[in-house]
Structure 1
């Protein structure tokens, strides 16, 4: 039977391993997705998601998350939620609500508290130092305030044929309070249909929201394209269109998996991801834009992994 998990960035790999173990033992795609995302939300050295995520311009960590079931299209999302341990779990709970399934700001936080979700100070001392240092750099060197937008996006497939998609992010570092990117928005940050497949995005939300790329990938898979063909055609044509119409295109990357466990990836930057299915154990790959609207995908090297671990754990002065 087919099953699989694909997720954005190296940071999701440990979660993908856990998810695929669950799926191999006939666990649900919903549970597999939540396990994957929570593993990223809970790890303090990942600066763009959950605990340890980087704050907005006022030093407040606002988080976004979304959860979508591909059987029923039930969808839940939060934006600008604060001091709740696992936003993805709140989004999953909201997906069962007929009304009020997308909550923002204090309303999202209040709902999570009322429903008994764990409250936690999500801004770590390490993240606060990075924020403080960035403020100093902006003043001293006239640097741009904005930096970093690495969403964890996940698509899962279980042996029963059900699929789930979801995202979690602390958004753009130094964003204006209240800013929301593409991550919690259906069709832009994610989309899934169990009869076809699912997709998710990571990158600059302001540009990703200019096109419903996750939905477009699923639509192209419905027409018979492979996940890789759908990703390549969708991302690179939009990159070119946005560059022509808007003058430039920000960084963005897309992942996809169909209902047979086949997967695809496209990107306009250097991009890492983790994937595993019924045929191969989870592994980390690195992708880059190739020629003629194609994607170059290679296994990650141990040297790259060692440098990554050293970089994310380096002391902050």
Structure 2
């Protein structure tokens, strides 16, 4: 039976491994996507997600996350949640609530604490040191404070045909207190419908949310486009529109998978992602914008992987 999963960035590789094992053993799409995201959230060397994620301008790690069930269309989201190890698990729990399924700030944190989710100080010494360094750079060199905003987003397809999607991020480094990006917003950061497929986004949320691109990709797949066609046709024309009408466009990268396990990607930056299906062992791939609104996708080299491992473990 067909199963598959796709996730943003190289950092999702171990999570994709875990999700693949669950899906291969007839696990649910919801369990697989949650475990995939949790694997990334718990790893302290990823600077843009979960434990060890980079803080806002006040030195506080505030996380956004979302979960969506493609069978029922149920959704749960949290934004600006604090001191919670697995924001995605809180979002999934909230997806079972008909009312109050999107909670922010103190309300989201209180819900997590009262419902037994693991609470911890998410600001590691390493992340705090980077925050202090950036404050000094901003003051002395007048640098742009915003550097680092990669979301882990994933779509899973179970052998039963059920699908799920989820996202998690600590958001824009040095963001203003309470700032929320696209990741927890339905249709922008994520969307999934088991009868069609799903998509998630990563990049600059303030610009991604202007286009509701995750929903647009799913809509296009529903009209018969392949995931790659849907990604290309949704993302690149919108970037051009934004550049023309808004004057600029931040970083955009979107992934998609349909109900048949076929996948697609579109991006305006160098972008890595991970994918695995019953027909294709896990691959870590590199996408770049190609000519005429297309995407060029190649496997990453061992040299690139070695450099990546070295870079994420650097203290500064």
Normalized against structure 2, the TM-score is what? 0.99
1:132 equivalent in structure 2: 132
**Structural mapping, 1:12-27, within 5 Å:** 12-27=12-27
2:226 equivalent in structure 1: 226
**Structural mapping, 1:65-76, within 5 Å:** 65-76=65-76
**Structural mapping, 1:123-272, within 5 Å:** 123-272=123-272
In 2, the alpha carbon distance for the partners of 1:114 and 1:216 equals 36
- Could you report, residue by residue, the CA deviation over 1:87-110 in whole angstroms, capped at 9, with x for unpaired residues? 000000000011100000000000
- Could you report, residue by residue, the CA deviation over 1:159-201 in whole angstroms, capped at 9, with x for unpaired residues? 0000001100000000000000000000000000000000000
In 1, the alpha carbon distance for the partners of 2:262 and 2:57 equals 40
1:95 aligns with 2:95: yes
SS of the residue corresponding to residue 192 of structure 2 reads: strand
In 1, the alpha carbon distance for the partners of 2:114 and 2:272 equals 37
Normalized against structure 1, the TM-score is what? 0.99
Q: How many residues align?
A: 316
State the Cα RMSD in Å.
Answer: 0.5
1:308 equivalent in structure 2: 308
In 1, the alpha carbon distance for the partners of 2:36 and 2:302 equals 22
Structure 2: where are the runs of 5+ without partners?
none
2:59 equivalent in structure 1: 59
In 2, the alpha carbon distance for the partners of 1:281 and 1:307 equals 23
Post-superposition offset of 1:258: 0.1
SS of the residue corresponding to residue 281 of structure 2 reads: coil
- Could you report, residue by residue, the CA deviation over 1:254-287 in whole angstroms, capped at 9, with x for unpaired residues? 0000000000000000000000001111110000
Post-superposition offset of 1:315: 2.2
- Could you report, residue by residue, the CA deviation over 1:199-225 in whole angstroms, capped at 9, with x for unpaired residues? 000000000011100000000000000
In 2, the alpha carbon distance for the partners of 1:170 and 1:85 equals 11
